[in-house]
Amino acid sequence: MVDSELQLVARGIRSFPDFPIPGVLFRDISPLLKDPDSFRASISLLANHLKKTHGDKIDYIVGKWGTRADGDPGRRGISRASTFCLPVLTWEAVGGEVTGHLGHRPQFHPLKHGFDEWFGSPNCHFGPYDNRARPNIPVYRDWEMVGRFYEEFPINQKTGEANLTQIYLQEALDFIKRQQAAQRPFFLYWAIDATHAPVYASKPFLGTSQRGRYGDAVREIDDSVGKILSLLQDLRITENTFVFFTSDNGAALISAPKQGGSNGPFLCGKQTTFEGGMREPAIVWWPGRIPAGQVSHQLGSVMDLFTTSLSLAGLEPPSDRVIDGLNLLPAMLQGKLMDRPIFYYRGNTLMAVTLGQYKAHFWTWTNSWEEFRQGIDFCPGQNISGVTTHTQEEHTKLPLVFHLGRDPGERYPLSFASTEYLDVLRRITPVVEQHQEALVPGQPQLNVCNQAVMNWAPPGCEKLGKCLTPPESVPKKCSWPH
C-alpha cells in the first residue's frame, strides 16, 4: 500500500489524537459552532496582534472565512471592536452546524481583521440557490467578489466534480513563493472545505478511493498538503515554518459513508457534544524543533492556537482581556501534559466538561424525535439508553460521568454510588462553578432568518453584472432545532 502524504508527514511530527509562530501555516477543513460568549480568542485577533508587533509580516487567508455573527440585530457579521471565536481553525469541535458567517459588508471583511490578502468565500459552498429566494455564495479576491459558487466556480453535484481544492492549493503555493522571494515572514490560513457536504473533488481524484466522494476529497487534500510541505522543503524554510493541520469537528455521520467520515470507537458524530462530535486529531510539523514521530495525548482547544502562536513569535497575550487559551508549546516540544478542563457547549448550554480522563455530562441530547423519525440520525447504530437521548435530558444534579481512558465510547457511566464517581464530582464541581461565575452574559446575535443580510450585492458585483436585489429586511430571530 502506498503511504499517503499525511502518513509520511506524521512520521516526522508530533501528532495530537486527543485534540477535541516563525512562519506559521494553519490548515483546516470546515466550520465551527460555539457559544460566542464563552470563547474570546480568535484568528483575527492573532493576525492583528502580530501585525502591530511584526509590521513586515504578511497574512493571507485562502478558503472559507466564517465565524460567529456578532453585531446588531438585522445585520450579519463581526464588528471591528469584537474579539471573536475562530470559526474553522478548531479541533475542539462543535455541537452543531448552523453558524453565523462574516457578512458582505466592509466592516466584516477579513482585511479589516488583520489579514493582508484573501481568496475565498464568507461561507461554505452551500447551494446551489436560485438567486431569488437566496443568493449563491460569492467568492472573493481581497475586497471584491470574483464570482459565485455553482456559477463562475462550478460544483457538479451529480458527479461531485469541482476544481476548488486545486484553485485553493495554487493560491497557497503562489503566496508562499511570493513571501519567500521578498524574504518576508508570513502567516497563511488555508481553510478548504472539500470534505464538507456536498463533498467535491477534482477530476483526477474522483473514483480513486474506496469511500466514495468523501474518500476522493480526502485523497486530494492529502495530496495538496504534500505539495505545500514539499514547497517549504524546496525553499529550505521548513525549520522556520510552523505547520498545524487539523479538522474542526467529528465526522458528520448523517452524511456517511459516501459523503462523511468515521469516528471509530467514539460515540455519535458532528452536531453532538459526545466524543464523536467533539474529538479530532491534530498534526504539528516543525522539522528540527518538534520531535519526530511522537504522539501527545494533550487535550487542546481552538483557543490554544492564539496563545501558542504568540509564544512562537515571542509575544505576550493582551493584558486587557481574559485569554482562555493555553500555550501548547510545552506539550509540542517537551511532551509535557497539562491538566486542564474542556467545556462542551451546545448553544449557551454547558452540556459537558472534560477534566483529565473523566467527562461529566450535565445534559444529553442527540437530535429531536421529529428529525429522527425523518431519518436524520446523528448516532447511527449507537443507541445507548439514557445517554443518546432525543429530548434534552438534564443531569445537573447527578451528572453522567465516563472514564474516557477505559470507555472512550461513553457507553458505561460510573455508578453514582461508587467512590470513584464521588471523587470525580468533588474535582469537577468547583471547576464548573468557577467557569460559570467568570462568564459575562451576552445577547444572541445570530440572525439567519433575515434574508436581506445574505450576499446579494457584495463589492465587485457590478463589474461582473452579478448584483442581486435583496428582499425587504425582516430582522427577526429564529429558533434552531438542534
The structural domains of the chain, ordered by start, are 5-249+281-338 (3.40.720.10), 345-438 (3.30.1120.10)
Give CA torsion, residues 221, 7, 250, 88, to 10 deg: -50
Rg, C-alpha atoms of the chain: 22
pLDDT in the model for residue 128: 96
* Position 368 pLDDT exceeds 90: yes
| Residue 54 clears pLDDT 90, i.e. is over it | no
Query: Which residue did the predictor score with more confidence, 30 or 122?
Result: 122
- As a whole number of angstroms, the distance between CA 148 and CA 146 comes to 7
Q: What pLDDT score was predicted for residue 26? A: 56
What global pTM score does this model have? 0.83
Residue 110 pLDDT > 90: no
Percentage of the chain surpassing pLDDT 90?
60
- Cell digits of residue 373: 423519525
Please give the Cα distance from 54 to 252 (Å, whole number).
39
Tell me, what's the pLDDT at 102? 38
Which pLDDT score, from 0 to 100, does residue 462 have? Answer: 95
Residue 52's H or E segment, with its range, is: helix 43-53
Burial tier of 346 (Cβ tally within 10 Å: 0-12, 13-18, 19+): buried
Tell me what percent of the residues of the chain surpass a pLDDT of 70: 77
Q: What average pLDDT score do residues 130-155 get? A: 95
Rounded Cα gap, residues 44 and 189, in angstroms: 11
The confidence score (pLDDT) of residue 58 equals: 72
Give the pLDDT mean for 423-447: 87
pLDDT, the chain, mean: 82
- Smallest CA-to-CA distance from 68 within 462, 448, 470, 450 is with 448
Residue 393 has pLDDT above 90, yes or no: yes
**pLDDT above 60 (res 41):** no
Lowest-pLDDT choice from 124-138, 161-175, 242-256, 468-482: 468-482
- Give 315-342 as a DSSP string: -PPPSSS-------HHHHHH------EE
Say if residue 45's pLDDT is above 80.
no
Instruction: Calculate mean pLDDT across residues 32-61.
Output: 50
Question: Is residue 469 predicted with pLDDT exceeding 90?
Answer: yes
Q: Read off the pLDDT of residues 203-222 as tens digits, 9 standing for 90 and up.
A: 999 999 999 999 999 999 99
C-alpha cell recorded at residue 130: 436560485
State residue 271's pLDDT score.
92
Complete edge-to-edge strand list for the sheet that includes strand 400-403? 341-346, 349-355, 358-361, 400-403
pLDDT, tens digit, 9 for 90 and up, residues 251-299:
999 888 878 899 999 999 999 999 999 998 899 999 999 988 889 999 9
Which stretches of 83-211 are DSSP H helices? 164-181
Quote the pLDDT of residue 12: 55
Confidence band for 307, pLDDT divided at 50, 70 and 90:
very high
pLDDT at 32 over 50: no
Average pLDDT over residues 372-399: 95
Of 82-96, 312-326, 374-388, which has the strongest mean pLDDT?
374-388
pLDDT level of residue 17 (50, 70, 90 thresholds):
low
Least confident range of 104-113, 270-279, 391-400? 104-113
Model pLDDT, residue 31: 31
Q: In the prediction, which pLDDT does 169 show?
A: 97
> Which is higher by pLDDT, 408 or 247?
408
